């Protein structure tokens, strides 16, 4: 009889697992259970609809019908999985619209339940809108379109900064409140400061070290005594792995949250895989890491499907690489920052450079700030950060590739990178990092 696979969660990780499984096995019965109303939506694109840059329909990449037609997948929206019975090999749940219960048998299970927004214990915080799903977006957009112009965003991580950019572009008065000492926690403070300045320049009011004490119908109150007008409040204070279903099923879950998996993305039950924002992976130092980013979810979905179908596939330590646009700036990081390396008990060497994006004599060169964090004795690269204009993403990706491939810091000088005056320099900024490291 055909292999029965159930995938729980129909967004990045779950859908890449399901579609890859179909390519490898034409006969398997593949059922995708999604509690929300949409499968396969462009999670990362959500903030860009707030400014109208991306149309709402363009965020919906597939429907259950298109998945059925194109991949022969049985994708069921409004289906919430509530319990896994590992002995009986069944998933029990309920249809969210009708309340009707269901029980489905499986031979293999793939968990991709994602992460959920942290709601800090602040009085009135229920009023704040998270931005994780299409219904979240619809609610936030409706509020922004009908309420007054003052928006307060709580949390200056990637979601907060991208939301702030797009709400500002939509003409709103935006205040970005960050409890920590800087915006964008993956960056070290001196690079985050450049992002902070750009937000200021573009008219986003940023307050770091801001402790929200109360949210009322009209205002957000801070510990400092400040009281900010807030017609709409956005919740972007971080996310936690949605690991309750796995925990209830007796699968190994980290104390601090996150489903534990082996290199093949199997949970402590080898018939059950887990991928995406709900799991812990390992960083470049082989330490457990929570990396809720789309690249990993997509890659893990494919690896889990490959392994499930008997292919040799594994997902080992990976540097987290993230990037965001903040108005005219691009900012990103790969691997560990200086703070994280020091926290791991290591003493890194650090190089800062401030090159131009391309040959200075060719018009339009823009500034770029690079930081390389590495071990001087061995040349091992721990991580890198880039903030700047044109070409920032390219340098970051080259550095991510180098880091993942184990290229030594001094060997960055040896990378044969593309060059013509509109694009770079004969000694590319990445090569220059290598020369400085030598």
Q: How far is the CB of 375 from ligand NAD (least distance, A)?
A: 25
CB closer to ligand NAD, 294 vs 351: 294
Task: Tell me which residue has its CB nearest to ligand NAD.
Answer: 157
CB closer to ligand NAD, 18 vs 159: 159
CB closer to ligand NAD, 46 vs 308: 46
CB closer to ligand NAD, 12 vs 412: 12
88 neighbors 39 (Cβ within 8 angstroms): no
CB closer to ligand NAD, 158 vs 374: 158
Is 227 a known active-site residue?
A: no
Residue 215 CB contacts under 8 Å (≥ 6 apart), including other chains:
122, 123, 124, 125, 127, 128, 221, 230, 233
CB closer to ligand NAD, 9 vs 64: 9
Residue with tokens 């929300």: 36
Q: How far is the CB of 153 from ligand NAD (least distance, A)?
A: 9
Catalytic: which of 24, 44, 193, 309?
A: 44
Residue with tokens 């709900």: 278
161 neighbors 183 (Cβ within 8 angstroms): yes
Q: How far is the CB of 89 from ligand NAD (least distance, A)?
A: 33
| Token pair belonging to 142 | 């409706």
Question: Could you list the residues that contact ligand NAD (CB under 6 A)?
Answer: 44, 120, 154-160, 162, 177-180, 185, 212, 236-239, 292-293, 322-324
CA separation for the pair 383, 385 (Å, rounded): 7
CB closer to ligand NAD, 293 vs 351: 293
CA separation for the pair 431, 438 (Å, rounded): 11
Best CA proximity match to 253, nearest among 272, 234, 239: 272
Q: How far is the CB of 266 from ligand NAD (least distance, A)?
A: 24
CA separation for the pair 173, 203 (Å, rounded): 8
Q: How far is the CB of 165 from ligand NAD (least distance, A)?
A: 11
Strands of the sheet containing 212-215, edge to edge, are 212-215, 219-222, 227-229
Task: Report the phi/psi class of residue 200: left, alpha or beta, with left for phi > 0 and alpha for psi in -120 to 50.
Answer: alpha
Residue with tokens 């409140």: 177
Residue 347 CB contacts under 8 Å (≥ 6 apart), including other chains:
none
CA separation for the pair 271, 392 (Å, rounded): 42
Q: How far is the CB of 354 from ligand NAD (least distance, A)?
A: 24
Query: Could you please report the per-residue DSSP string of 73-88?
Result: -EEETTEEEEEEETTT
Residue with tokens 């997509």: 298
Furthest CA-CA distance within the chain:
70
**What residues are paired with 306 via a beta bridge?**
none
Is the sign of the CA dihedral 393, 398, 402, 404 positive or negative? Answer: positive
Q: Residue 202, class by beta-carbon neighbours within 10 Å (0-12 exposed, 13-18 middle, 19+ buried)?
A: middle
Q: How far is the CB of 351 from ligand NAD (least distance, A)?
A: 24
Q: Which residues are catalytic?
A: 44
């Amino acid at each position: 009889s055909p292999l029965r696979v159930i995938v729980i969660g129909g967004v990045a990780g779950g859908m890449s697992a399901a579609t890859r499984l179909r390519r490898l096995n034409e006969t398997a019965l593949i059922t995708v259970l999604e509690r929300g109303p949409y499968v396969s939506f462009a999670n990362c694109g959500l903030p860009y609809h707030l400014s109208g840059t991306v149309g709402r329909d363009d965020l919906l990449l597939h429907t259950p019908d298109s998945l059925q037609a194109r991949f022969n997948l049985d994708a069921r929206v409004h289906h919430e999985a509530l319990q896994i019975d590992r002995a009986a090999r069944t998933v029990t749940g309920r249809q969210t619209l009708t309340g009707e219960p269901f029980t489905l048998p499986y031979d293999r299970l793939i968990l991709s339940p994602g992460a959920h927004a942290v709601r800090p214990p602040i009085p009135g915080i229920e009023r704040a809108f998270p931005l994780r799903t299409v219904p979240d977006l619809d609610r936030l957009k409706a509020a922004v379109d009908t309420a007054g112009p003052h928006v307060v965003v709580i949390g200056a991580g990637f979601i907060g900064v991208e939301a702030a950019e797009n709400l500002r572009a939509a003409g709103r008065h935006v205040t970005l409140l960050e409890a920590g000492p800087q915006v964008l926690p993956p960056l070290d403070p001196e690079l985050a400061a450049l992002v902070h300045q750009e937000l200021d320049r573009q008219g986003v009011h940023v307050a770091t070290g801001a402790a929200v004490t109360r949210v009322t119908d009209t205002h957000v109150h801070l510990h400092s005594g400040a009281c900010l007008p807030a017609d709409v409040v956005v919740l972007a204070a971080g996310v936690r792995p949605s690991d309750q279903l796995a925990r209830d099923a007796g699968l190994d879950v980290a104390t601090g949250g996150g489903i534990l998996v082996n290199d093949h993305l199997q949970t402590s039950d080898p018939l059950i895989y887990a991928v995406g924002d709900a799991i812990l992976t390992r960083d470049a130092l082989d330490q457990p890491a929570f990396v809720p980013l789309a690249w990993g979810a997509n890659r893990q979905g494919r690896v889990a499907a490959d392994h499930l179908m008997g292919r040799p596939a594994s997902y080992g330590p990976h540097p987290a690489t993230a990037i965001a646009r903040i108005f005219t700036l691009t900012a990103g990081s790969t691997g560990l920052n200086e703070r994280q390396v020091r926290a791991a008990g290591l003493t890194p060497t650090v190089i800062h450079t401030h090159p131009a994006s391309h040959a200075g004599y060719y018009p339009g060169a823009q500034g770029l700030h690079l930081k390389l964090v590495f071990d001087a004795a061995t040349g091992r690269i721990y991580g890198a950060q880039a903030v700047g204009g044109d070409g920032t993403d390219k340098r970051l990706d080259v550095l991510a590739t180098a880091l993942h491939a184990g290229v030594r810091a001094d060997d960055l000088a040896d990378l044969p990178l593309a060059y013509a005056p509109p694009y770079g320099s004969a000694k590319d900024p990445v090569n220059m990092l290598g020369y400085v490291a030598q």
